[in-house]
Amino acid sequence: MSITKKTFGQTKDGRQVDAFILENSNGIKAKIINYGGVIVSLDVPDKSGNIADVVLGFDDMAGYESDANPYFGTVCGRYANRIANGRFSIDGEEYTLAVNNGPNALHGGLAGFDKKVWEAEIAGDSVVMKTISPDGEEGYPGTLSVQMTYSLSDDNALKIEYAATTDKKTVVNLTNHSYFNLAGHNGGSVHNQLIQINADKYTVVDDASTPTGEFRAVKGTEMDLLELTPIGKNIGAVQGRGYDHNYCINQAKEGELTLAAKVVEPVSGRTMECWTTEPGVQFYAANYVENITGKGGAVYNPQESLCLETQHYPDSPNHPHFPSTELAPGETYSHICIYKFGAEKA
């Protein structure tokens, strides 16, 4: 496995952004920048050895800093996904966040971790990125020290390891928001790609995609993805514009690395497994990606990609029966996410 470092560009305010290219012996290559920890490109061979870049994104910093960017490839935090009404309480003290998604606070706020230039360095076979979020940033309590470690193995696994500590009780929920299309980033509709999600239930949401607190069984419904299923089979019957729901992963043990989901692209044979230590995974079918010009002039549209965002459940601070996202001084938040690639022969 090799890692090289190159200059990617500059932010609008003149900060240098670097790209780290991780490459293994099987032709898989990941380009990751220290602006938002973004996975810019991910080259993966198919069953015939043909390489395609399987993540959506932009060619330059102007794209990643534009208002049109729907979190392509980035880390989301301090709190990934939604917090209802931008409010939560810890030990009776209420905290108020920016509301940036209907009635919800989404993905850390107006200037979340996706907009930070992280300190980054090559450490052995990994790229390590660090940042400090000061007390009160985006309304969250506590000074949070965060580290992400990216590595690529020769068994074709791209691993992201998150760690965080705080000096005051707070809430933390981090994820990666890559948009995948195993036919290639410009491969068109994902309706014929197959997905399997290892979850017997999901968290029910209202029309603003805010969790109601209810769990519902997937069996026999349009949400049932327990077996490999074409993404387009039932998507028209799904609430809202399509899949954008948190699935509760069937974990044998809390915090244990578990297979959350598998995706198969039947023409190329490319496969992707998503493994995580988190209790949930948000399956999002890119329903709101409309007419966005991305890499190489490709135009991205709804349901031409998918996200598998490993996470704690949305709005957990407001639902005590959900797995807790609270982090106290002396504790360490940790989270592993692995995207593992393969190619199935016809």
Tell me how many domains the chain contains.
1
What phi and psi, each to the nearest 5 degrees, are found at residue 318? -100, 10
Distance CA 303, CA 75 (A): 21
User: Domain of 143?
Assistant: 2-343
Read off the CATH number of the domain in which 58 is found.
2.70.98.10
Give the per-residue pLDDT at 101: 93
Q: Which two tokens stand for residue 178?
A: 């890559």
Active site residues: 177, 309
Start-to-end CA distance of the chain, whole Å, equals 29
User: Looking at residues 124-140, what average pLDDT do you find?
Assistant: 97
When pLDDT is cut at 50, 70 and 90, the band that residue 346 belongs to is low
When pLDDT is cut at 50, 70 and 90, the band that residue 344 belongs to is confident
Q: How does pLDDT run across 274-321, given as a tens digit for each residue?
A: 999 999 999 999 999 999 999 999 999 999 999 999 999 999 999 999
Give the per-residue pLDDT at 190: 98
User: Looking at residues 5-14, what average pLDDT do you find?
Assistant: 98
User: Looking at residues 324-335, what average pLDDT do you find?
Assistant: 98
Torsion of CA 33, 35, 38, 41, to 10 degrees: -40
Residue 115 has pLDDT above 90, yes or no: yes
